[in-house]
Structure 1
Amino acid sequence: MDYEQRIQSVLNYIETHVQEDIPCESLVALAGFSKSHFLRVFEAYTGFTVMSYVRSRKLHLAAERLSYSNDKIADIAYDYGFESHDVFGRAFKRMYGLTPENYRKRRFLLPTFHAVNLAQQQKGAVAMIKTKPHTMIVTKPAMKLIGIECRFEDGVSSPDLWKQYFDEWQQTFGNIAHLRVEPEKEIDYALTVDRDESGYTYFIGIEVTSVDHVPPGTTARLIPKTKYARFTAIGPVGESIGRTYDYIFKEWFPYSSFQTAAGPIMEHYDMRCATHLGIPSDMQEMDIYIPIELVLTQTKEIIELQPYRAAYYKAAGRKGRKWQQVKKEAFDVMITWALSQGIDQSDLRIRAHNNGGATEEKFNYEVYMDVTGIDVSITEDSLISLMDHEGGLFIVTPALHRMLEPTGKAFCEWFEQQEKYKMTGAWFEEFLIHGGKVTLDTLIRIHYGVKRL
């Protein structure tokens, strides 16, 4: 089940249990994520914190009852889980700007918070990001920061923290400028911390060498040494940052072997996005650091691959020839042959394996396709040959083409902790090709041969 399906199953559960108490832990278990990862993924897909969404759906349905029934307001409040008329009234007014009594008098007003349907959202979605952010797994040492912060929760008005930060910079932070780490780079950090199902705390500040003297009105934050996935957003910051977060949680995480770990998400702003230095908006860059941990049980499956007949091609490489050229040759030959055989190009599954690396004198890139039960012809001058594969037991993990290397490394870390299996040395990558072309967004299923101990 992919991320979208998991979150949609949570949304469906909320709809069928909206008149009940819905603890966040139940939704976490249903989604199959850690709590910290679930909270961030849910917000990425819906635009709402979990409890804000649940509360808004309850208020929406309560508003419908107010408009189209004569039920007592206290009964409606109780039916949707509000502990008293007063609690319901305050929540209702925050959402609709009217008390339940006044809302009922204006029956022509319609509720405004409809259930989220992710499939319908995707139909109207545009391409999320033109330039994929550069991604790297890094470990940052412990950090000390001083800044200002504010709690953000849906339904509660919050100040413009960035405006406050810049307005107070000289008066508040000027006195500790000498403590700033790498002052010549003018680095500002924005942190999302203390996230729970209702909201989070947003912190803006600078990294310092000491927090012994914290100016009045500011807060010190100590960040331990942490492993992060770092994403460099490219383009106008106001536009690229949102698209990059979408990419992180909707494209990168679903095909990685990581999930968000407990800890702050950090946004790193420096001279690369300084408008006062004349940096063109389309060349601006900023970094997003997501704390990560290895997922030990998700996205892995064990399959028994039966012996099969395969179409086969081997592209020969040599030192000095670009690795990608050899790889492209292999796929071009196999895809062209599949087209000549009338094999459906909309969903090709081509398996690949390399022998040796591009730095060696000679290396090969082999591709093959399961043609068991398919009537194919091989001519004398064909570049394709037929061969039999034995099959075997494999552990399979998915990856995006662009994420192949870090996913493979993460799998090896995961496998080292397993006690039931041992690697046999057999492996291959299965490319799920749509439209007859391999791209960086092509989904790959990495197969590692194993045997049970």
Structure 2
Amino acid sequence: MEMDWIVGFQKALDYIELHITEKIDYEEIAKISYSSSYHFQRVFSLLCGYTLGEYIRQRRLSLAGAELAHGKEKVIDIALKYGYDSPDSFAKAFSKFHGITPSEARRDGKMLKSFSRLSIKISLKGGQTMNYRIEEKEERIFTGYKRHFEGVPSERSQQEIDMFIETRGLQYILRGMTGQIETEYTLVGNIGDDGYDFYIAQLLPKDMRENLGKNGYLEADFAKYFENIRVPKQTYAVFETERCPYPSMEHLDLRKQIASQWLPTSGYRLADAPEIVVYHWFRKPKNKERYLELWIPIEKAE
């Protein structure tokens, strides 16, 4: 099964390179890689640190730069070749990537960026125990607030940390409503090439949740700041970080371990549903026992 995954991933990379000047069909990539479109894109971003769309864009701009420096084609022709519908949109993307304009790239001695193609390198890794459990949860409704971030969840943690710091007041309100001062939830959803939605949330009692913003409930307009996030019935693989005072950063490495070591041999693939992180923020004297749970939505691999 692991070898099928490796072969499929490499075939997908080869397909992208072969069709780099054409519209890339994500469904075809899924078929070639023996997975779903969502699973491939999510695992790709976990392993590589950038989205599949970002990889394709950077490969195209790298190749376009080489052609401008060494070829004689017109800028407009190269722009169209690599999927840009106007010289302006191409110039903007090109300048952002290379730091110079397409016209400047024609001049001798100008520095260009190279973004090499990915390839699979097999090495012996793993050989370590990963504790997990499989749980099925009925539909749950969380209450919280969100921001949309660019990039991929595993690589943009500073944005998430900043959000925690900047929205302390909203967190205190949610915690006060639940009475939970040592447990917090985050949800990651709508993951795509343009980024992802990041929620800070709690599980409120049903009557409290349904009355948010009604009749001046608790003398505040909660509907202005909070929303209900419906998470359908779902099967999860649940992993835990090590116990330590500051477990927040450990879950980034754990995510990559899950994608590279557990998933390929698990018989499961990632499901298109929100990923949930449960924060267990124990106070002193139990603060050294803090840990996070990663609830990874999964489905049986076909």
TM range (shorter): 0.7 to 0.9
Where does residue 73 of structure 1 map in the other structure? 75
Instruction: Please give the residue correspondences for 1:14-53 in structure 2 after superposition, counting only pairs within 5 Å.
Output: 14-53=16-55
Please name the residue that 1:7 is paired with.
9
Query: In the alignment, what sits opposite 2:292?
Result: 286
Q: Counterparts of 1:233 and 1:112 in 2: how far apart (Å)?
A: 37
How far apart are residue 279 of structure 1 and its match? 3.7
More strand by share: 1
Q: TM-score, normalised by structure 2?
A: 0.81
- Write the distance in 2 (CA, Å) between the matches of 1:69 and 1:238: 49
Q: 1:90 to 1:237 in 2, by over 3 A?
A: farther
How many pairs align? 282
- Cα distance in structure 1, aligned partners of 2:57 and 2:203: 37
CA distance in 1, matches of 2:225, 2:107: 45
**Conservation of the 8 A alpha-carbon contact between 2:16 and 2:24:** yes
Shift of 1:229: 0.7
Q: Is the 8 A contact 1:189 1:204 kept in 2?
A: yes
The answer for the alignment partner of 2:275 in structure 1 is 265
1:132-164 per-position Cα deviation (integer Å, ceiling 9, x unaligned): 44200112341322122213247xx99823213
Q: Residue 216 of structure 2 corresponds to which residue in structure 1?
A: none
CA contact 2:185–2:276 (8 Å) conserved in 1: yes
Deviations 1:311-366 (A, max 9, x none): xxxxxxxxxxxxxxxxxxxxxxxxxxxxxxxxxxxxxxxxxxxxxxxxxxxxxxxx
Query: 2:21 is paired with a residue of what secondary structure?
Result: coil
User: Matches of 1:222 and 1:6 in 2, distance apart?
Assistant: 34
State the 4+ residue runs in structure 1 displaced beyond 6 angstroms: none
Matched residues in 1 for 2:183 and 2:71: separation?
A: 57
Unaligned 5+ segments in structure 1 are 298-453
Query: Which digits, 9 at most, give the CA deviation of each residue in 1:278-304, with x for residues without a partner?
Result: 744xx6521111111223x3xxxxxxx
**C-alpha distance in 2 between matches for 1:279 and 1:118:** 41
Relative to structure 1, is the Cα distance of residues 103 and 115 closer, same or farther in structure 2, using a 3 angstrom cutoff? Answer: same
Q: For the residues of structure 2 that align with 1:234 and 1:177, how far apart are their CA atoms?
A: 24
SS of residue in 2 equivalent to 1:216: helix
**Distance in 2, Cα, partners of 1:94 & 1:129:** 42
> SS in structure 2 opposite 1:147?
strand
1:149 aligns with 2:147: yes
Structure 2 unpaired stretches of 5+: 214-221
TM-score by length of 1: 0.56
CA RMSD of aligned residues (A): 2.9
Aligned ranges 1:264-413 → 2 under 5 Å: 264-271=274-281, 279-280=287-288, 284-295=290-301, 297=302
Q: In structure 2, what residue type is equivalent to 1:285? A: Y
Structure 2 matches for 1:397-436, cutoff 5 A? none
Structure 2 residue aligned with 1:200, among 193, 196, 200? 196
Specify the alignment match of 1:139 in structure 2.
136
- The SS at the match of 1:259 is strand
Pairing partner for 1:191 from 180, 187, 190: 187
**Corresponding position of 1:255:** 265
Which residue among 209, 213, 223 is the counterpart of 2:231? 223
Higher relative CO (Cα under 8 Å, sequence separation at least 6) belongs to 2
Q: Which residue of 2 aligns with 1:109?
A: 111
Is the 8 Å Cα contact of residues 275 and 295 (structure 2) preserved in structure 1? yes
Tell me the amino acid that sits aligned with residue 111 of structure 2.
L
C-alpha distance in 2 between matches for 1:101 and 1:159: 36
Quote the offset at 1:237 in angstroms.
3.1
Match of 2:217 in 1: none
| 1:292 counterpart SS class | strand
CA distance in 1, matches of 2:32, 2:194: 18
Quote the residue 2:219 is aligned against: none
What is the SS of the residue equivalent to 1:188? strand
Max Rg structure: 1
- SS of 1:287 mapped into structure 2: strand
